[in-house]
Amino acid sequence: MPNGEVVNWLDGSKTALQRKCKFTLCFESTNHYGFVTEKIMDAFYSDTIPVYYGSPTVAEIFNKDAFINVADYPSFDAAIEKIKELDQDDEKYLEMLNQPVLVDPTYPERLEKELGEFICHIFDQPVEQAYRRSRVYLPKRVNDRLARAVDGETLTMKNLMTRMAEKIKKKVIR
């Protein structure tokens, strides 16, 4: 941003900035199946065409005709050519911009219902069944190895991180 300005969604400045643009880059930090963050929704909310790169399953939720999925093109250059084409042809641009956003218009209601059921299930079950997460928030197979006593000490995330930091210091500072 010019002059060191910062934008965020809390005060609406991110949306205001995006609305000045025809396209919004929506690149996820990873391209794992099902990992779709707010980036694409922010672009739709701002009335811009999302240029998306991320989850291969994004088109199961969002209408593939309403955004540019970079993964659908053989190269970044080909995706850029599509952006240029839409930028120079108002009719094509508006056609994409006005597409329905969601594949299934009932998706938000279904998601809200599923979330409500999930939360109710957490509180409706006995405490013993509700606890599923390892104490150090690592995958079970890793946690099982770490939870064993090491030198008479049960590892917690705090002392695990301390041990790791000590090992790193020994290797880096010689």
Could you give the angle at which helices 90-97 and 76-88 cross, rounded to 10 degrees? 110
89 band by pLDDT with thresholds 50, 70 and 90: very high
Domain coordinates of the chain in residue numbers? Answer: 2-107, 120-174
Q: Which parts of 46-139 fold into alpha helices (H)?
A: 76-88, 90-97, 107-124, 127-130
Architecture field, domain 2-107: 3-Layer(aba) Sandwich (3.40)
pLDDT on residue 62: 97
3-class state of residue 120 by DSSP: helix
pLDDT on residue 153: 53
This prediction's pTM = 0.67
